[in-house]
Amino acid sequence: MTLDPIYLTNLVLCVIILVLGILGYRNSGDKSPLYIGIAFGLFGVSHLLTLLGLKEALTTFLIVIRTIAYLLVAFTLYWVAFKR
């Protein structure tokens, strides 16, 4: 396992955002923070797998995870911006 400081920092920040998203949802009942938190949780999974040295073996899986995370953030922001 290579503890690349960039991936490690990103992992820690993703976990913090995931926890804040869960707490935001629990306190407000609004699903937006939860969705954003889940997306960053997915980013965190990709950073963890990279730190564990699985980047090359799981390249396609990591692309799928990150794409889903980006789409989840985009969907949530669209939903918040155009909610009626």
pLDDT for the residue numbered 25: 98
Closest CA to 20 of 4, 48, 1, 44: 44
Alpha helices in the chain (DSSP H): 5-28, 31-51, 59-81
Copy the structure tokens of residue 70.
């980006």
Question: For each successive 10 residues of the chain (84 residues), what is the average pLDDT?
Answer: 89 98 97 98 97 95 98 97 85
pTM for the model stands at 0.91
